[in-house]
Structure 1
Amino acid sequence: MGRPKKIDDADLLAAAREVFLERGPVGAAKEIARRAGISEAALFQRFGTRDALFFKAMMPPSFAAEELVLRAAADAPDARAALAAITRGALVYFREAIGSALVMMSHPEFKLAEIARAHGGGNPGATLIRALAHWLTREAQAGRVHCPDPQASADLVVAALHSVVLFEHLGIYDREAGDARALAAIDALWPALEPRPSPGIRKEKPHGKR
């Protein structure tokens, strides 16, 4: 019977991710082992090579985009509040995922297809676009938004989130400013999405005016 592991894979990968985020793909295995509380030999027994450990640790997490959208829509009083809630939830995810992806792309063996394969053939950004477009379509059908092109609107929201997170990594925004700019992007988009009155309903003129 083998000896029990002193640290589970999730904790080991978390320690590796910390080091790779700090130092890039050349993060020292010795430092990872030290933070994880195991030997370098035990580290490589688990993952084989440093590159294998790197890609396992830095793979962006999966994203339950449809769940986020449905939960925000159920909890929000109206479509505009739901869109703001979706934005805040997605921003939390993209901060983690894009940080990992930027470090992954600096590795000479990086292949974008590996991210897609790990996420069932797609990628988290595309997953959010689809979920958001489907929600906008339903909201438009119910008359709660005006959205002739749900796909384009979803593209704009996700592009804005990506830009905000990239600007944070570049030092242009801090987190607080990033939160504000993401919600400001939704405010800028909302006039195009705001529901229109039915063309069959005429507004009454104030009394005394012809």
Structure 2
Amino acid sequence: MARRKRLEDDELLAVARERFVAEGFAASTRGIAQVAGVAEAVLFQRFKTKAELFFAAMLPPPPNLHEILVSRPDSEEPSRRMEDIAIGVLAYFREIAPVLLPLVSHPEFNYESFVARYPESPLNQLVEGLQAWLKRLEARGDVVEGASPAVALALVGTMASLAIFERIGVHGGETPEDMVRQVAAVIWRGAALAPG
């Protein structure tokens, strides 16, 4: 029984991802095809260029937004929830760092173009999910009006940076949880409405 093309594409992209993570963009399409058990021409029938194959293969896995953003009760203290969200976002960036680093290092990578090409991009989902949560807090009066995009950017950017720092050995390769919570608390203090 023949397999669906989508499944075959997923398998092909998994092989390409493995090679690109190990070798960067320099990985040969011939080598990828060989490991995948197809002719190199098959790659270029499905992906017009090596760059197109690279970007399709290096799309990070999706975050578990339910676990990161939704699983905690809305009644929980927002500052504590921000800390827990930061822990979840950092865990996600730790998971995707092996894919993310070669992706953003590619000379043709541009975030806006990437999101336009892949609107369901996991990174975009994460930022939009955070903004939606923060907008609910804005509506409740817990966050400065209009601050949601900046706060989401600060949190995502900081957690992504921490994951990259860990990859190069900062904090012995793992940032202590209490430090992550302190960073999230600093971001929260900038977002929360000042008393009075």
For the criterion TM > 0.5, the same-fold answer is: yes
- Contact kept, 8 Å, 1:65 with 1:128, in 2: the verdict is yes
- Contact kept, 8 Å, 1:30 with 1:40, in 2: the verdict is yes
- Contact kept, 8 Å, 1:66 with 1:131, in 2: the verdict is no
| Residue in structure 1 matched with residue 30 of structure 2 by the alignment | 30
In 2, distance between residues paired with 1:98 and 1:127?
Answer: 20
RMSD: 3.9
Q: Is 2:112 aligned against 1:110?
A: no
- Contact kept, 8 Å, 1:115 with 1:123, in 2: the verdict is no
- Cα pair distance change 1:40/1:133, threshold 3 Å: same
Per residue, is there more helix in 1 or in 2? 2
Question: Once the 2 structures are TM-superposed, how far is the Cα of residue 172 of structure 1 from its aligned partner?
Answer: 1.7
Amino acid at match of 1:131: A
Q: Is 2:170 aligned against 1:169?
A: no
Amino acid at match of 2:144: P
Q: Is 2:123 aligned against 1:127?
A: no
- Cα pair distance change 1:66/1:13, threshold 3 Å: same
- Cα pair distance change 1:106/1:169, threshold 3 Å: same
- Cα pair distance change 1:27/1:126, threshold 3 Å: same
| Residue in structure 2 matched with residue 21 of structure 1 by the alignment | 21
In 1, distance between residues paired with 2:47 and 2:153?
Answer: 37
- Contact kept, 8 Å, 2:69 with 2:130, in 1: the verdict is no
Gaps of 5+ in 1: 200-210
- Contact kept, 8 Å, 1:65 with 1:131, in 2: the verdict is no
- Cα pair distance change 1:43/1:71, threshold 3 Å: same
| TM-score between the two structures when normalised by the length of structure 1 | 0.66
- Contact kept, 8 Å, 2:162 with 2:175, in 1: the verdict is no
Amino acid at match of 1:8: E
| Residue in structure 2 matched with residue 185 of structure 1 by the alignment | 183
Greater length-normalized contact order (CA 8 Å, ≥ 6 residues apart): 2
Q: Deviations over 1:130-156 (max 9, x none)?
A: 224214324x53xxx5x4354354443
In 1, distance between residues paired with 2:78 and 2:166?
Answer: 27
| Residue in structure 1 matched with residue 91 of structure 2 by the alignment | 92
- Contact kept, 8 Å, 1:66 with 1:128, in 2: the verdict is no
Question: Once the 2 structures are TM-superposed, how far is the Cα of residue 4 of structure 1 from its aligned partner?
Answer: 4.6
Count residues in correspondence: 191
- Contact kept, 8 Å, 1:94 with 1:165, in 2: the verdict is yes
Which range moves more in the overlay, 15-24 or 34-43? 34-43
Larger radius of gyration: 1
| Residue in structure 2 matched with residue 9 of structure 1 by the alignment | 9
In 2, distance between residues paired with 1:47 and 1:97?
Answer: 23
- Cα pair distance change 1:91/1:52, threshold 3 Å: same
- Cα pair distance change 1:181/1:36, threshold 3 Å: farther
Amino acid at match of 2:128: T
